[in-house]
Chain A
Amino acid sequence: MMIEDPYLGRYVTCVSARSTDKEILKKAQDGGIATALMVYALEQGIIDGTIVAGEGDRPWQSKPAVAMSREDILKAQGTKYNISPQISWLKEATRSYGLDKVGITGVCCQMQAVRKAQLYPINMRDIPGKVAFTVGLFCMENFPYKSMQSIVEDHAAQSLSSVKKMEITKGKFWVYTERGNVATVPLKDTHKYEQPGCHVCLDYVSNLGDISTGSVGSPDGWSTVFIRTKVGNEIWSRAVADGMFETKPIEEVKPGLDLLRKLAKEKIDKNQKTIEERKTFGVNKALRNPYA
């Protein structure tokens, strides 16, 4: 039975979960779901590699990478709040890397890109059949690298290279450093740095991933997980049966789905309004609507 929610998309089940793998939990942003799922899929032969957001040349710069080992998947752990053009590697993954069963982790718009590439494969030969498993992340917004740098260095007054973790939660952008500093920036100060393309985004919880996950809705250290497709359901069931995850019914955790639905609604309503306003942006001149 599919549940259909106007803000949370279609899903088979939603649970709160975390990985049972100590090494994965150590560096995970939340419950290590994205990493544990891809490692499991790799070890089970469901995928033979996955696109992850790896490390770029500068501190905390993200850069897409094709990971073909547990070690490489783990290297990409943690949320990097700057654009990682995951899909730029989609075709290369099947060519230079020779993958027949590609995994992809990425934010909502990247899940949309994958599904479009599967249904309308414009110069995307082999992609429709070679995408084997996708794990989408929840995503309110993302930042250009220099935006993230301004937030961390100018507003939070921390050097990027000293940062251990960043997180957006409870109305603030949090910066944790290796030496134990915790600095926060209110989100009202970070909004102006957001990537403009995010302001027309109509998906908060990666509706089009096989599985999607994020922190909101679950307690610290746990993740909220939506199982969305047949592929996702099968992999999730097997992984849980094999002891990869601890799970709790989402109804039994705080703050639960209500908060998630509230945030999803806020994002989507706000962005719908932006799309509406674009229609009368100029004098008798509209900005383009990508969904029309």
Chain B
Amino acid sequence: MRGSKSRSGFDGEEGGSYKGDKTVTNKIKIGHVHMSGCTGCLVSLADNNLGLIKILDDYADLVYSLTLADVRHIPEMDVALVEGSVCIQDHESVEEIKETRKKSKIVVALGSCSSYGNITRFCRGGQHNQPQHESFLPIGDLIDVDVYIPGCPPSPELIRNVAVMAYLLLEGNEDQKALAGKYLKPLMDLAKRGTTGCFCDLMDDVINQGLCMGCGTCAASCPVRAITIEFGKPQGERDLCIKCGSCYGACPRSFFNFEVIDEFEGINEIIAEALKLGENDD
């Protein structure tokens, strides 16, 4: 029974005031814009499997994706998920990212290359067949970015959460909008904070600030195991660091919004409910 009801929004048992009271009618328009990235971000998006299908069935139309949709020019979008950094010697890429900003309500930097440059920071050019392509900038150095989803690759679940929350922000009822706004805020703050990511962020803004309590989260989040914990505190092997910015974002002492995280049980239910396949969906 709940399966058929789930189409009408987010009616988790404990959904309370977040409960949707209208049938989902307006799907939002989502696009995947591919700059200089390895497609790992797109694979992560796709790794939501049935969750992605549910999102595309009920909440969003994929209006642009070089890999997945046959559209050549950047269309109007509600949410642009931009993967990869921008090669400033590649005229087309520069134009495309500007176009993306113009045509999108919300620009999301999907993954660490887009957010922070990440591994593309280490590029020195000189490669066949575009040896002059040597300078890569995170998109925030060229356009205003609304939301960061750091990670190399970004976790499928974070992409999913942002997609559901972006939908609620644009199409939900008042309570859902408020929840989505609160959820997205720290990821928006990360976008305002800057375009470089590094183990140094933990040194500068957590450890040097007297905030580190040795939980070890940073070490778990590092994709290249550059962080070890010595006597309860993180040590970064700075030569290994690929500048992905994940450790800082993951650290509970970078941001911690009680008004959202205290609601973990309810929010997890809302997301699970939103992505539950209904009787007609399989």
Q: Please list the residues of chain A having a beta carbon within 8 angstroms of any beta carbon in chain B.
A: 10, 64, 82-92, 106, 109-110, 112-113, 115-129, 142, 144-146, 195-202, 207-208, 229-230, 287-288, 290-291
Tell me if B212 and A197 are in contact (CB < 8 A): yes
Closest A residue to B253 by CB, please name it. Answer: A290
In the assembled complex, the Cα of A82 lies from the Cα of B232 at a distance in Å of: 8
Q: Distance (Å) between the CB of B225 and the closest chain A CB?
A: 9
Given contacts A124-B155, A200-B211, 8 further A-B contacts (CB under 8 A): A84-B214, A90-B216, A90-B220, A113-B252, A122-B151, A197-B214, A201-B213, A290-B206
Tell me if A145 and B232 are in contact (CB < 8 A): yes
For the complex of A and B, list the 8 residue pairs with the smallest distance between their C-beta atoms, beginning with the closest: A85-B216, A83-B232, A88-B216, A197-B213, A83-B214, A123-B246, A88-B219, A121-B155
In the assembled complex, the Cα of A221 lies from the Cα of B157 at a distance in Å of: 42
Given contacts A85-B216, A146-B231, A291-B256, contact A117 B264 (CB under 8 A): no
Closest B residue to A292 by CB, please name it. Answer: B255
Specify which chain A residues have a CB less than 8 angstroms from the CB of B215 in the assembled complex: 85-88, 106, 109-110, 112-113
Tell me if A87 and B216 are in contact (CB < 8 A): yes
In the assembled complex, the Cα of A288 lies from the Cα of B193 at a distance in Å of: 13
Encode contact with A along B165-201: 1 for CB under 8 Å, 0 otherwise: 0000000000000000001001100000000000000
24 A-B interface contacts by CB (under 8 A): A10-B262, A84-B214, A85-B214, A85-B232, A87-B217, A89-B216, A92-B220, A106-B215, A109-B213, A112-B252, A113-B215, A113-B252, A116-B217, A117-B217, A118-B268, A120-B186, A122-B158, A122-B249, A123-B221, A123-B250, A124-B220, A145-B232, A200-B253, A208-B264
Tell me if A89 and B220 are in contact (CB < 8 A): yes
Tell me if B150 and A122 are in contact (CB < 8 A): yes
Q: With an 8 A cutoff between CB atoms, is B8 at the interface?
A: no
Specify which chain A residues have a CB less than 8 angstroms from the CB of B38 in the assembled complex: none
Closest B residue to A94 by CB, please name it. Answer: B220
Tell me if B232 and A144 are in contact (CB < 8 A): yes
Q: Please list the residues of chain B having a beta carbon within 8 angstroms of any beta carbon in chain A.
A: 44, 150-158, 161, 183, 186-187, 205-206, 209-217, 219-223, 229, 231-234, 244, 246, 249-250, 252-258, 260-262, 264-265, 267-268
In the assembled complex, the Cα of A89 lies from the Cα of B229 at a distance in Å of: 11
Given contacts A123-B244, A124-B250, contact A144 B231 (CB under 8 A): yes
Q: Distance (Å) between the CB of A156 and the closest chain B CB?
A: 21
In the assembled complex, the Cα of A112 lies from the Cα of B211 at a distance in Å of: 14
Tell me if B252 and A124 are in contact (CB < 8 A): no
Tell me if A145 and B231 are in contact (CB < 8 A): yes
Specify which chain B residues have a CB less than 8 angstroms from the CB of A110 in the assembled complex: 215-216
Given contacts A122-B151, A290-B253, contact A230 B213 (CB under 8 A): no
Given contacts A109-B215, A201-B213, A290-B254, contact A119 B232 (CB under 8 A): no
In the assembled complex, the Cα of A84 lies from the Cα of B233 at a distance in Å of: 9
Closest B residue to A203 by CB, please name it. Answer: B258
Specify which chain B residues have a CB less than 8 angstroms from the CB of A198 in the assembled complex: 213
Tell me if A196 and B219 are in contact (CB < 8 A): no
Tell me if B229 and A112 are in contact (CB < 8 A): no
Tell me if A120 and B213 are in contact (CB < 8 A): no
Q: Distance (Å) between the CB of A270 and the closest chain B CB?
A: 15
Closest A residue to B255 by CB, please name it. Answer: A290
Q: Distance (Å) between the CB of A107 and the closest chain B CB?
A: 8
Tell me if B260 and A119 are in contact (CB < 8 A): yes
Q: Distance (Å) between the CB of B33 and the closest chain A CB?
A: 21
Tell me if A116 and B261 are in contact (CB < 8 A): yes
Q: Distance (Å) between the CB of B200 and the closest chain A CB?
A: 15
